[in-house]
Amino acid sequence: MFESLSDKLQGTFKKLAGRGRLSEKDVDAALREVRLALLEADVNYKVVKGFVARVRERAVGTEVMRSLTPAQAVVKIVNEELIHVLGTPSRIDLSGPPPHVIMLVGLHGSGKTTTAAKLALHMRRRGQRPLLVAADPYRPAAATQLEVLGKQLDIPVYSEGAHVPPPTICVNAVKRAERSAYSVVILDTAGRWHIDEKMMQELEQVKRATSPAEVLLVADAMTGQEAVRIADEFNRRVGLTGLILTKVDGDARGGAALSIRSVTGVPIKFLGMGEKADALELFHPDRLASRILGMGDVLTLIEKAEAAFDQEKALGLERKLRTATFDLEDFLEQLRAVKEMGPLGQLVEMVPGLTSLSRQISPEVTDGQMKRMEAIINSMTREERRDPRIINASRKRRIARGSGTTTQEVNILLNQFRQMQRMLKQLTGEGSILPMLGKGRML
C-alpha cells in the first residue's frame, strides 16, 4: 500500500546520507520532498503540515546537527513522528462480565461481513467463544454469506430473517449468548452505499439496545481521504471506539492510514491484509512506520512464522539442520508452511533491506513457481526425496513427466536445494545463527 511513499522517502534519505554534515538548508530541501511525498500519498493536508513542522523543529536542533551520522538522526526523527501520527496501539476491550458485544459498522463494499468472520477467528484464537450475528436484513444474501463463512471456520452464526428489525435481532442474539455462554458477540450491522439518516438512527438504536464494549468502523483503505470523512461522520453519530482498515494489501496510496487517527482521534485496531480468514493483523504503529521507511518488520514476520510452523516439527527440523540430514521431504514441508504465512512479496517486505526486492515479486509468478516445486517433489519416490543424489537423467525425465514440468525445471530445483544445503551447513557452524535460534536467544 505504501510502495510509492516508501520509495520517495528512501530516495530523500539517501540524498541526505551523502552529506557529512547537514545545514538548515539541507533539512528544508529534504522536508520539501517529504511534504510532497505525503501529499501525493493522499495524506490529509493538515496532518502533513503538522508532521513536517514537528520534524523540522527537531531536525534543525542540536539532536541532528551535533550527530556523527546526521542523516540517520533525521530518519530516526521521521520514524518517531510517523509513530506519533499513527497513534498508540489500541486493543479490543474485554473488561467486565461477558458477553462482550462488538458492533461493526460501515458502508457497503468495505468488507464488513468478511471482517466480522476474521475478527471472530481472531477472538477464538485468543481463547474466546465468539458468536456472529447477521444483523443486515436488507442486503440480499448478507446472512447467507455470514453463515457460509461461519461454517467454514466452525463459528456459530445467529440470524432471524429479513422481516425482523436489526435492533431486535441484536438484542435476541445477546440473550442467546448469555444462555449459551458465548463470551464475545460480533454484530455485522447493515450498511448503505452512502451515509444516510435512516442508517444512523438504526445504528443508534442497536447501540442503545446492546451497550457494546466496542463500536468498530470497517473502512476501505482504497477510498483514501473519503475513508477519513466517513470515519468522522460515523464517530460523530454513533461514537466509534476504533477502526479496522481493509484492503491494505491493495494498491491504495496509504493516506487514510496516516490521516485517520489524527483527524478523528479514533485509533486503528486492525488491518485487513487479504482475503484469507486469518489475514487480519493487529495494528502496530511502530511496525507500520518501519515498513513505510523500508526498515522491514521482523516482529510480524516472527509472529506469522510461529502461527504457521508447528513447534514440535520446528524442533525436529532444527535437529536435522544441526546434523545436516535436511532432505527434500523437509523442504516440501517448509514450502507448505511458508505458503500458509501469506504472499511471498509481503513476507520479503518485512525483512530489513529487502523492501525494494518485494516489489519485483509478482504474486502470480511466485504462487505458480511454488506449485511447480511442490509438484516436482511429489513426483519423486520417497527414496529420491530422502537422497536426491540418486536422481539420474532417466529419473529426472520420469519426475518431469509426472509433475507436468521439464527436466530443466527439475534440475533448477535440485540445484537450488543443493545450494540451500551448503548454506545450512555454514549456518550450523560454530558461532552461527541456528545454534542461537535453538537456544531461544533470538526469539
- Give the best-scoring range by mean pLDDT among 3-17, 88-102, 281-295: 88-102
Across the range 320-324, mean pLDDT stands at 55
Give me the amino acid identity at 338: V
Q: Where does 87-111 have alpha helices with state H? A: none
- Whether 226 shows a pLDDT value over 70: the answer reads yes
- Contacting residues for 365 by C-beta, under 8 A, at least 6 apart: none
Mean pLDDT of the residues in the chain: 78
Mean predicted confidence (pLDDT) in 34-59: 85
Please tell me the distance from the alpha carbon of residue 374 to that of residue 270, in angstroms, as a whole number.
33
Give the contacts of 429 (CB within 8 A, at least 6 positions apart). Answer: none
Q: What is the pLDDT of residues 368-409, one digit of tens each?
A: 777 888 899 999 998 998 888 899 999 999 999 999 999 999
Mean pLDDT is lowest, of 9-18, 38-47, 231-240, for: 9-18
CB 187 within 8 A of CB 131: no
Taking domain 3-86, whether its CATH number is 1.20.120.140 is answered by: yes
Instruction: Return the pLDDT at 440.
Output: 39
Q: What is the pLDDT of residue 229?
A: 85
> Is residue 321 a contact partner of residue 427, using CB atoms and an 8 Å limit?
yes
* pLDDT number for residue 40: 82
Coil, strand, or helix at residue 103? strand
Name the pLDDT band for 439 (thresholds 50, 70, 90). very low
* Sheet bearing 268-272, strands edge to edge: 157-158, 130-135, 184-189, 100-105, 214-220, 242-246, 268-272, 280-282
51-60: average pLDDT: 85
Half-sphere exposure of 263 (CA within 13 A, CB side): 26
Q: Percent of the chain beyond pLDDT 90?
A: 27
With a pLDDT cut of 70, the percent of the chain lying above it is 73
Q: How confident is the model at residue 153 (pLDDT cuts 50, 70, 90)?
A: very high
Binned at pLDDT 50, 70 and 90, residue 127 comes out as very high
Q: If you compute the radius of gyration of the chain from its CA atoms, what whole number of angstroms results?
A: 26
pLDDT score of 344: 52
**Answer CATH for 300-438 from 3.30.1280.10, 1.10.260.30, 3.30.930.10, 3.90.1300.10:** 1.10.260.30
**CA atoms of 318 and 322, how far apart (whole Å):** 6
Residue with grid cell 551523502, as numbered in its chain: 18
According to the model, what pLDDT value does residue 356 have? 47
| Band of pLDDT at residue 179, cut at 50, 70 and 90 | very high
- Provide mean pLDDT across the span 339-354: 54
Split at pLDDT 50, 70, 90, the class of 331 is: confident
User: Which triple of cell numbers denotes residue 152?
Assistant: 467454514
Confirm if 269 and 91 have CB atoms less than 8 A apart. Answer: yes
- pLDDT-derived band of residue 34, with 50, 70 and 90 as boundaries? confident
State how far the Cα of 142 lies from the Cα of 324, in Å rounded to an integer. Answer: 53
Look at residue 367 in the predicted model and tell me its pLDDT.
63
In this structure, are residues 279 and 154 in contact, taking their beta carbons and an 8 Å threshold?
no
Q: How confident is the model at residue 14 (pLDDT cuts 50, 70, 90)?
A: confident
Which grid cell sits at 284? 502496530
Q: How far apart are CA 12 and CA 106, in angstroms?
A: 37
Into which CATH architecture does domain 100-294 fall? Answer: 3-Layer(aba) Sandwich (3.40)
Confidence band for 307, pLDDT divided at 50, 70 and 90: low
Q: Provide the residue ranges of all domains of the chain, joining segments of one domain with +.
A: 3-86, 100-294, 300-438
Give 36-65 as a DSSP string: HHHHHTT--HHHHHHHHHHHHHHHTSHHHH
For residue 209, is pLDDT > 90? yes
**298 band by pLDDT with thresholds 50, 70 and 90:** very low
What was the pLDDT predicted at 361? Answer: 40
The arithmetic mean of pLDDT across residues 117-145, rounded, is: 91
More confident residue, 148 or 343: 148
Which helix (H) or strand (E) segment is 368 a member of?
helix 363-378
Mind listing the pLDDT tens digit for each residue in 100-120?
A: 999 999 888 888 999 999 999
